[in-house]
Chains A and B, each alone.
Chain A
Amino acid sequence: MVKRNLHKIYMGLIFVFLYAPILVLVTYSFNDSTSRGNWGGFTLKWYIDLFNDRDIKTALYYTVIVAVLAATIATFIGTISAIGLYNFNKTPKSIMVNINYLPVVNPDIVTGLSLMILYLSTNMRLGFLSMLLSHITFDIPFVILAVMPKLKSLNKHLTEAALDLGATPLYALRKVVIPEIMPGIITGFLIAFTLSIDDFVISFFTTGSGVTNLSIVIYSMARRGVKPTINALSTLMLTAVLILLFIINKRSALVDGQKNNGGNY
């Protein structure tokens, strides 16, 4: 009995440590007082301020545009790469898959810095395009990682069956393989989109004058002192990412559920 209570207390402590800072942040975003020490009553004025701030609105625009474009392009390239990789022979396949892991574990700051050096050395102007290219670059491995398992669980004979019935390889890809791995593709897209929305380090290194995303705006605002609008903005970003994560989890649960329900005979 005592032991079980200890378990609960321990769990509770972990959650407090994990979520207390976020809770504080969310709470203060509704605080009608500029000082952090006291509670001045509930207000939405920081949120309203937010939407009147031109810098933040442009940053929001760039964040969304970059996330949508980067996730879309990365999903396209990543899916095709995964299909190609899947059809490699064993040894080259495992080499390529491991190379693909590298950017995933590589520290963001190294990725950001090396991309910046690359752009500068090729005399590319830092700005929207360089930031978009960077986002596509770090999104692709995650899409490949999301799509590969779906390909592995695909019945190998499905493509052959399509070819056998007269489909060209491209038609078989479009009508059989892609629909079969669609759950993985969508998951890959959502992960890429989420990563792109909340990226700070790589964007910071690879963007140029006039083009900023929300993370960079928050960072530069915070350097000038924490204003409650930052809390509001952070809360909004947190909510957006949480919703996306929720969708990703719900989707994978749904897909797995379908798989378990099917095939009873």
Chain B
Amino acid sequence: MGNKIIELKNISKDYDVRVLNKINLYVNENEFLTLLGPSGCGKTTTLRILGGFEFPTEGDLFFEGKNINNVPPHKRQINTVFQKYALFPHLNIYENIAFGLRIKKTSDAIIKEEVKKMLKLVNLEGFESRNIDSLSGGQQQRIAIARALINKPKVLLLDEPLGALDLKLRKEMQLELKHMQREVGITFVYVTHDQEEALTMSDTVVVMNHGEIQQIGTPVDIYNEPENAFVADFIGESNIIDGVMNEDYLVTFLGRTFKCVDYGFNKNESIHVVLRPEDIVMVPEKEGYLKGTVTSTIFKGVHYEMIVNVGALDILVQSTYQSPVGDRVGLKFTPEDIHIMSKEA
């Protein structure tokens, strides 16, 4: 790691409206980078610009230090796994995977060997002569990955590759993809709207909204130190509360002053406080910093999700213990659980 393999400088893209606005981003070699955001945030457009299927209206795109703004897709050392796989229906699995090598006029013997290797990598040995229609969604997905990887690209782009799979298969494939990425040692740029998927697999997460980058960081950073309310809200469930930063390490919200671990804000700057629902502990009313009434409780499998009304607003709390609706409870949290974000301009 450490070498920039791809760099985007001030990339913008206009259709009728602006869909990407001044994207600045770099991808390191062997990195697993995820573009995360809701639909229409520009993540797929960014990926298509990397693949060469769209050209930026403004800005520059560099690959290994060279400007590739006008290089067509077939001349880029980048391969793509498409959202709906886009396997060639008229070719069998062997020919689908061999497609890239056939273009390079590779000898049959080498193609045979490479296809076999790829099928082994994606756990579909012996599928050579099968039709793609006979495969399940998950299997087609693997073939699409094999077809891209056989070209030994320096970067693999993946556009919501697991979107069409059911939950269990998706979880399996997440681990498998991560494993494959380590095994072949190439850079992955992954697009998803699933925040859990992004956190599970990535080295770096880029959160996007409205064609702009909201935050770039490791999954832990993004989760624990969201830079603004959008990121906090998009990455997991959050309670976002208005507050005032009295001074370093001291914040006031919901009528009380708390110690916290954040610093570097202006005196009495008005800020957002983020409290993750799983960080809040329910205690008897007397012991709580905040007091309120349980207004709803939902069983979520691993935990219960409860809404506690503390007068001014509702606070979301997750706990493995259930408090019945109507109960008066207290809420407690530690200074480390309080995350401070400056308000968006």
Q: Are A166 and B100 in contact (CB under 8 A)?
A: yes
Contacts of A176 in B (CB 8 A): 88
Residue A237 lies at the interface, judged by CB distance under 8 Å to chain B: no
Q: Are A165 and B89 in contact (CB under 8 A)?
A: no
Q: Are B100 and A165 in contact (CB under 8 A)?
A: yes
Residue B33 lies at the interface, judged by CB distance under 8 Å to chain A: no
Those of A45-74 within 8 Å (CB) of chain B: none
Which stretch in A32-40, A155-163, A222-230 binds the other chain? A155-163
CA distance A160 to B51 in the complex (A): 9
Q: Are B74 and A164 in contact (CB under 8 A)?
A: yes
What's the interface size class on B, roughly? 20 to 34
Residue A167 lies at the interface, judged by CB distance under 8 Å to chain B: yes
Picked from B86, B104, B133, B135, the residue with its CB within 8 Å of the CB of A161 is: B86
- B87 nearest in chain A by CB position: A161
Determine how close the nearest CB of chain A comes to the CB of B211; give it in whole angstroms.
22
Residue B80 lies at the interface, judged by CB distance under 8 Å to chain A: yes
Picked from B53, B90, B99, B133, the residue with its CB within 8 Å of the CB of A160 is: B53
Those of B90-113 within 8 Å (CB) of chain A: 90, 99-100, 103-104
Picked from A158, A165, A261, the residue with its CB within 8 Å of the CB of B151 is: A165
Q: Assess A168 versus B82: contact at CB under 8 Å? Given A162-B99, A180-B89.
A: no
Residue A265 lies at the interface, judged by CB distance under 8 Å to chain B: yes
Determine how close the nearest CB of chain A comes to the CB of B341; give it in whole angstroms.
39
Determine how close the nearest CB of chain A comes to the CB of B238; give it in whole angstroms.
36
Picked from B74, B87, B100, the residue with its CB within 8 Å of the CB of A168 is: B74
Picked from B73, B104, B134, B135, the residue with its CB within 8 Å of the CB of A164 is: B73
Contacts of B73 in A (CB 8 A): 160, 163-164
Q: Assess A265 versus B137: contact at CB under 8 Å? Given A167-B74, A171-B103, A180-B90.
A: yes
Contacts of A163 in B (CB 8 A): 52-53, 72-74
Determine how close the nearest CB of chain A comes to the CB of B45; give it in whole angstroms.
14
Picked from A160, A165, A261, A263, the residue with its CB within 8 Å of the CB of B103 is: A165
Residue B147 lies at the interface, judged by CB distance under 8 Å to chain A: yes
Picked from B52, B83, B137, B148, the residue with its CB within 8 Å of the CB of A165 is: B148
Q: Assess A157 versus B82: contact at CB under 8 Å? Given A263-B133, A265-B137.
A: yes
Residue B129 lies at the interface, judged by CB distance under 8 Å to chain A: no
Contacts of A166 in B (CB 8 A): 74, 100, 103-104, 151
- A155 nearest in chain B by CB position: B86
Residue B323 lies at the interface, judged by CB distance under 8 Å to chain A: no
Contacts of A180 in B (CB 8 A): 88-90
CA distance A165 to B104 in the complex (A): 10
B residues neighboring A (CB under 8 Å): 51-53, 72-74, 78-80, 82-84, 86-90, 99-100, 103-104, 131, 133-137, 147-148, 151
4 interchain residue pairs of minimum CB distance: A262-B133, A157-B86, A165-B100, A161-B86
A residues neighboring B (CB under 8 Å): 155, 157-158, 160-169, 171, 175-176, 179-180, 182, 261-265
Question: Assuming A163-B73, A265-B134, what are 16 further A-B pairs, CB within 8 angstroms?
Answer: A155-B84, A160-B51, A160-B86, A161-B80, A161-B82, A161-B87, A165-B74, A165-B99, A165-B148, A165-B151, A166-B103, A175-B99, A176-B88, A180-B89, A182-B90, A262-B131
